Amino acid sequence: MEDDAPRILFVEDDAELAELLTASLNAHGFEALAAGTGAEAMQRAADEEFQLVILDIRLPDTTAYDLCNRLRSQRRTQEWPILFLTEKRGRDDRLHGLELGVVDYITKPFDMTELRLRIRNALQRASQHSTMNAVTELPDAPLVALRLAALPERADPWALVIVAADGLEALRETYGFLAADELMRALALIAQGTVRDLGGQGDFAGHYDATTLLIF
């Protein structure tokens, strides 16, 4: 297996299916690891780095919705692409998954070739947007850090404005991810408007972290 093989966490309580899928993915250039419960998945997510997570919607100790919610609430895992694997076909289930930021929704029975293609597409999309925040489409922390490091070299006067969405986690828990995302998008539009209307050449807006914007 190649050292740079994309690492995939597959969360499935059916041991036979988990073994089949991980073996198939490993044979096609991925590094797939399995977890049989939500607790095991969270422990793996805390200890290891993954490029994509596949969640079965029914787990013995939780649901894919709750597990997705927990992954999205933690800074180091909140941008990991997530696919749902399920027997459910209802519209409400799909909408619930999309609300939580799931990038694809695969129903059983499925074709292994199709699954691999969906995985590759999800990884490719994530790679293309790795420097941009998925919610606000502003530059994300790595790119912002580079711009911050260059500030002392600027010849013209500059100032740094920090916009922090304190209490966003509480808002998300009360009103859901859509409401929290809409708030961050609104703040991003304000930041972009500030740079456009009041800023000069080289001024910039981006993310310090998921809930904090910098304007400079």
For residue range 45-54, list pLDDT tens digits in order.
Answer: 988 989 999 9
Model pTM score: 0.58
d(CA 49, CA 131): 18
Q: What pLDDT is attached to residue 50?
A: 93
d(CA 95, CA 60): 23
- pLDDT above 60: residue 200: yes
CA pair distance 149, 153, nearest whole angstrom? 9
Give the model confidence (pLDDT) of 117-139 as tens digits. Answer: 888 888 877 776 557 777 788 88
Residue 20 neighbours by CB distance under 10 Å? 13
- Strand-pair partners of 84: 55, 105
Q: What is the C-alpha separation between 15 and 62, in angstroms, rounded?
A: 17
The pLDDT value given to residue 92: 62
Q: What is the mean pLDDT of residues 71-98?
A: 73
Cα 200 from chain centre: 32
Question: Given a cut of 60, is residue 166 above it in pLDDT?
Answer: yes
Q: Is the pLDDT of residue 2 over 60?
A: no
Average of per-residue pLDDT across 155-169: 87
14: how many CB neighbours lie within 10 A of its CB? 12
Mean per-residue pLDDT, 99-126: 78
Alpha-carbon distance of 13 to 83, in angstroms, equals 16
Task: Say if CB 99 and CB 181 are below 8 A apart.
Answer: no
- Residue count (the chain): 216
32 Cβ partners below 8 Å, 6+ apart? 7, 8, 9, 10, 21, 22, 25, 26
